[in-house]
């Protein structure tokens, strides 16, 4: 399975944020999306998730047999600022969500199984979501995808709010999920991108381009990426 972007366009007034962005993302890989602040990473995610309409282009899902337009239900989106019902406990919310998607949850998996996978204690499961840390809220977002299993998962700065141990747990979970999903996450932490990702993609001047594979294991990785972004910025200003 692959996600194919063809000429994605998005403008806000006179500002063209996405200018014919094109790329092919393959199932089985974790992609890191890099770009300077304001480059359009969140805009791209909002367009792919259906949160925002594009001005042009299209996103296609190719399963090897058929090619079709990407649908909203094909995409799971982990927001940088989680949007959850804070008046419920974590358990109450997940039970409510599970009841809505009962046919998608494997019959041999319980709600407690899901919390175990996310390494959330029984005490935390029954606390109000409004008492959760940012990282715990992100865990709940991730847990929902274990139920719906969307083919494409987008993560907007997903690991920056976790402590070291939880971040390691989430890295392992992402590596397990990539087998059956297309995973794309944006980050400004270059070391995290290098450690976790199979491929890196840069969004600059409204277009997507792959980072050469040999850069990722190079001692000059961070220097090369920073120079690339600076060069693109200078080119845009001349």
- Sheet containing 30-34: give its strands across: 75-78, 152-156, 182-186, 30-34, 199-204, 207-210
Reported as a single tens digit per residue, the pLDDT across 160-184 is 555 666 667 777 778 877 888 999 9
188 in Cβ contact with 33 (< 8 Å): no
CATH of residue 94: 3.40.50.300
Question: How many residues would you count in the chain?
Answer: 238
Output phi, psi for 133, to 5 deg. -75, 165
DSSP conformational letter for 211: P
Sign of CA dihedral 75, 170, 40, 190: negative
Helix, strand, coil shares of the chain, percent, nearest 5, are 40, 25, 35
Tell me the pLDDT of the chain (238 aa) as tens digits: 999 999 999 999 999 999 999 999 999 999 999 887 788 899 999 999 999 999 999 999 998 889 999 999 899 888 777 789 999 999 999 999 999 887 777 777 889 988 988 888 999 999 999 999 887 888 898 888 888 889 999 988 766 555 666 667 777 778 877 888 999 988 777 777 777 788 999 898 899 988 877 776 666 777 777 777 765 554 444 3
What's the domain count of the chain?
A: 1
Question: What pLDDT does residue 78 have?
Answer: 82
Entry pTM: 0.83
What residue spans of the chain are helical by DSSP H? 41-49, 90-100, 111-117, 122-125, 134-148, 164-177, 190-196, 213-216, 221-236
In this predicted model, what pLDDT tens digit does every residue of 199-219 receive, in sequence order?
999 898 899 988 877 776 666
What pLDDT shows up at residue 71? 92
Range of the domain at 18: 2-236
What pLDDT is stored for residue 238 in this prediction? 39
CB 117, CB 143: distance < 8 Å: yes
Backbone dihedral angles phi then psi of residue 66, each to the nearest 5 degrees: -130, 155
Among candidate residues 183, 176, 193, 136, the one with its CA nearest the CA of residue 155: 183
User: What 8-state DSSP symbol labels residue 207?
Assistant: E
């Amino acid at each position: 399975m692959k996600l194919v972007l063809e000429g994605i366009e998005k403008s806000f007034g006179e500002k063209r944020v996405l200018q014919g962005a094109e790329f092919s993302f393959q199932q089985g890989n974790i992609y890191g999306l890099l770009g300077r602040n304001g480059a359009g990473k969140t805009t791209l995610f909002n367009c792919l998730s259906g949160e925002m309409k594009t001005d042009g282009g299209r996103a296609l899902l190719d399963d090897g047999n058929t090619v079709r337009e990407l649908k909203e239900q094909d995409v799971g989106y982990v927001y940088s600022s989680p949007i959850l019902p804070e008046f419920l406990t974590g358990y109450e919310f997940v039970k409510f969500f599970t009841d809505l998607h009962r046919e998608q949850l494997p019959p041999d998996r319980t709600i407690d199984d899901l919390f175990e996978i996310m390494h959330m204690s029984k005490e935390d499961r029954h606390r109000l979501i409004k008492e959760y840390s940012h990282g715990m809220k992100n865990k709940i977002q991730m847990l929902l995808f274990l139920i719906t299993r969307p083919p494409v998962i987008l993560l907007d700065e997903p690991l920056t709010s976790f402590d070291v141990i939880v971040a390691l747990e989430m890295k392992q979970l992402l590596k397990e999920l990539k087998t059956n999903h297309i995973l794309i996450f944006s980050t400004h932490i270059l070391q995290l991108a290098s450690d976790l990702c199979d491929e890196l993609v840069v969004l600059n001047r409204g277009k997507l381009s792959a980072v050469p594979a040999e850069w990722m294991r190079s001692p000059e990785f961070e220097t090369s990426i920073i120079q690339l972004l600076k060069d693109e910025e200078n080119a845009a200003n001349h």
